[in-house]
Amino acid sequence: AALLTGAPAAAPAPPARHLFSEPAEVEALRRNLLAWYDRCKRDLPWRALAAMEPDADRRGYAVWVSEIMLQQTQVATVIDYYTRWMQKWPTLQALAQASLEEVNELWAGLGYYSRGKRLQEAARKVVSELAGRMPRTAEDLQKLLPGVGRYTAGAIASISYGQATGVVDGNVIRVLCRLRCIGADSSSPAVIDQLWDMANVLVDRSRPGDFNQALMELGATVCVPKSPLCGECPVKQHCRAWRRKLFGKAPPVPDVEDCGVGDCSLCPPATEPWDSSLGVTNFPRKAAKKPPRAMRTATCVLERRGCHGAPEYLIVQRPSSGLLAGLWEFPSLPLAQDLQEEKEREELADHLQAWIGRPVAATGLQFIGEVIHIFSHIHQTYVVYSLHLDGDVTLDPALSLSRWVTEDEFHASAVSTAMKKV
Ligand code: SF4
C-alpha cells in the first residue's frame, strides 16, 4: 500500500512488474546509484553552492535559479548564464531590485524568456510577502512561489532542505520507464502519476537531494535517449528493459506476455508491441507530438550612419506579453501565408514608415535572405530585408520603444537568438 501513496483510491494497483515492491531491491538501487554519483558526478556551480552555502535562504535561491535555467536548456549552456546571474544577483533581495530590462539582457540567448521574468516576480514576492524567507517544503514552495511547479518545488526542497521527496523530469521519466518496462504513453496523466509515486518510493531518505540529482544525472549521461550505455549503468541489475533485451524472446502475444494481463495500463499498447530491434529504447513512448505551426515574418535591418560614422541599426521592443515578451528586435511584421513578394514588401514598407515617421519606398527594400528559427511550437521563417537610410534620421522621442544601436550595443541588448541570426 505504501507504494501507492497519493494514487486515487479507486485506481487499481499496477502489476508488480511495473513497481518496486521489494524493500531490499529499493535499498540496493539507492546504494548503487549514490555510489556511482559520488564517483562520477559532474562538477557544476549550483552543486557547489548547494553543498557549501550555510544560509538556507541563499541556498534555496541558488538551487531555484539553476532549476529554472535548466528547464528546456542544456547544462553546458546554462553554466555561463548561471555564473553571471549569481555574480550579479547573489541573493533574492538583489534580484528583487533588478529591472526587467536587466533580467532580459542577462537572459538573452537562453530562450523561453518568460522564465527570467517570472523568476524575478517570484523573488519580489518572497522579499515583500514572506520577509525574504524561502518556503522550506515542496508543498509550500509550489503553493507560494509563482512559476514553481511540482518538479521545481521537489528539486529545491530535496536539494536545499533535505526533504525526502521525489522528482520527475524528462530524464527521470526515461530512466524509470526503462527500469520498469513502462511503455504506455509517458505524457499521459495516469503514467505521470505512477512515476511520481515511484520516485517518492525510491528517493533515499538520508540523501534525497543527491539521490534525485543522481537519477537525473543517470538519464543525462548514461541512460540517454538514443544509445544508452547499459554496459556502464550502475543500476542495470534492477533494469527490466535491459533484462528483457538480454533474455527476451519475441512473445507470441505481446500485450498478454508483458504483464500476464491483457489490459495493463502501463504496458506498450497491443498495436505497438515490444520491438526487439529497439532494445531498451522501446521505452519510454510518447503520443505523437503536434507538428509545429509554420509562421512567416518579414523583418528589416534599418541602417543609418551614427554620429561617429559607424553604422547604427534600429531595434524596437516587443509587447510585454506573449512570445518573446519585452525583448528587442528589428522591426518585424507577421505575414499571411502565401503572400506575393510584392505585397509583402508593401506591407513591410508601411510598417517601417510607422516607426521612422517618413515614407519608405517598397522598391528600396533589399531582400537579403531567409532565416529559420524553431521555437518550441512554432517553425518561424524570417524574411530578411535591409534598408540604408540617408541624411538625418531622428526618432520621435515619444517612441520610447525604439532605439538606434551599434553592433556591439545590439549584442548586449535583450535580443533573442533568432534576431542574432537575422
Ligand atoms: Fe537505462 Fe540501460 Fe541502465 Fe536500464 S540498464 S537504466 S536502459 S542505461
177 lines ligand 1 (CB under 6 A): no
The predicted-structure confidence for 214-232, as pLDDT tens digits, reads as follows 999 999 999 999 999 999 9
Q: Is 241 in the pocket of ligand 1 (CB under 6 A)?
A: yes
Q: Which residues contact 397 (CB under 8 A, 6 or more apart)?
A: none
- Cα(244) to centroid of ligand 1, in Å? 11
C-alpha cell at 410: 545590439
Distance 295 CA to ligand 1 centre (A): 39
Residue linked to cell 528600396: 364
Query: pLDDT band at 62, cuts 50/70/90?
Result: very high
Alpha-carbon separation of residue 75 from 205, 221, 274 (angstroms): 27, 11, 32
* Cβ neighbours around 139 below 10 Å, total: 15
- DSSP label at residue 358: S
With H, G, I as helix, E, B as strand and everything else as coil, classify residue 24.
helix
**Residue 239 Cβ < 6 Å to ligand 1:** yes
Which pLDDT score, from 0 to 100, does residue 100 have? 92
CA distance 314 to 388: 11
Helix axes 208-221, 150-161, angle to 10 degrees: 120
Inter-axis angle of helices 189-202 and 208-221, nearest 10: 130
How far apart CA 157 and CA 93 sit, in angstroms, is: 20
Does the CB atom of residue 156 touch ligand 1 within 6 A? no
Ligand 1 atom with the smallest distance to the CA of 222 is 8
Q: 381: Cβ–Cβ under 8 A, 6 or more apart, which residues?
A: 294, 295, 296, 297, 370, 371, 372
Looking from the CA of residue 236, the nearest atom of ligand 1 is: 5
Annotated active-site residue 67? The verdict is yes
Instruction: Please state which of the four CATH numbers 2.60.40.10, 3.30.920.30, 3.40.50.2300, 1.10.340.30 is assigned to the domain occupying 16-254+261-282.
Output: 1.10.340.30
Taking only the tens place, the pLDDT of each residue in 252-269 is 444 444 565 567 888 888
Rounded to the nearest 10°, the torsion over CA 281, 282, 287, 289 is 30
Task: Specify the higher pLDDT residue, 3 or 307.
Answer: 307
Q: pLDDT category, 11, cuts 50, 70, 90?
A: low
The pTM for the full model equals 0.80
CA–CA gap between residue 183 and residue 194 (Å, rounded):
12
Classify domain 293-412 by CATH number: 3.90.79.10
- Pairing of β 311-317 and β 402-405: antiparallel
pLDDT band with cut points at 50, 70 and 90 for residue 56? very high
Instruction: Tell me, yes or no, if the two domains 16-254+261-282 and 293-412 fold the same way.
Output: no
Q: Which pLDDT band, with edges at 50, 70 and 90, does 420 fall under?
A: very high
- What would the grid cell of residue 97 be? 531590485
pLDDT at 273 (0 to 100): 85
Closest CA to 119 of 156, 165, 164, 163: 156
Cα 261 to the center of its chain, rounded Å: 37
Q: Tell me the β-bridge partners of 297.
A: 334, 382
The pLDDT value recorded for residue 128 is 97
Ligand 1 and 245: CB distance under 6 A: no
Which ranges of 162-239 does DSSP label H, i.e. alpha helix? 170-179, 189-202, 208-221
What is the tens place of the pLDDT at every residue in 307-364? 778 899 999 999 888 888 889 999 999 998 888 888 999 999 999 988 888 889 999 9
Q: By three-state DSSP, how is residue 371 classified?
A: strand
pLDDT band at 392; cut points 50, 70, 90? low
Nearest to 326 by CA among 118, 168, 187: 118
33 CB within 6 A, ligand 1: no
Instruction: Name every residue whose Cβ is closer than 8 Å to that of residue 78 and which is 6 or more positions away in sequence.
Output: 66, 69, 70, 110
Shortest-distance atom of ligand 1 to CA 280: 7
> 233 C-alpha vs ligand 1 centroid, how far in Å?
6
What pLDDT is attached to residue 212? Answer: 98
C-alpha 26 – ligand 1 centre gap (Å): 16
Tell me the CA–centroid distance for residue 225 and ligand 1, in Å.
10
E-state strands within 285-365: 293-305, 311-317, 328-329, 332-335
State the cell numbers at 299. 523583418
Kindly tell me if the per-residue pLDDT of 13 is higher than 80. no
CB 297 within 8 A of CB 382: yes
> What is the pLDDT, as a whole number, of residue 358?
85
- Out of 27, 53, 67, 312, pick the active-site residue: 67
**What letter does residue 185 receive in the DSSP assignment?**
B
Task: Kindly tell me the number of DSSP H helices and DSSP E strands found in the chain.
Answer: 17, 7
Query: pLDDT digit string (tens) for 272-289?
Result: 888 889 999 999 998 877
Please give the pLDDT value at position 397.
54
- C-alpha 422 – ligand 1 centre gap (Å): 42
Question: Residue 368 pLDDT > 60, yes or no?
Answer: yes
Reply yes or no on whether the pLDDT at 102 is more than 80. yes
Percent of the chain at pLDDT > 90 equals 72
Give the amino acid at 274.
W
Residue 111 has pLDDT above 90, yes or no: no
Query: From ligand 1's centre to the CA of 212, what distance in Å?
Result: 16
**Ranked by mean pLDDT, which of 113-122, 203-212, 408-417 comes out on top?**
203-212
For ligand 1, say whether the CB of 46 is within 6 Å of any of its atoms. Answer: no
127 lines ligand 1 (CB under 6 A): no
Q: Taking the domains of the chain in order of start, what are their residue ranges?
A: 16-254+261-282, 293-412
For a ligand 1 pocket test, name from 242, 244, 245, 282 the mutation site with the most ligand atoms within 8 angstroms of its C-beta: 242
Residue 233, ligand 1, Cβ within 6 A = yes
Distance CA 200, CA 120 (A): 30
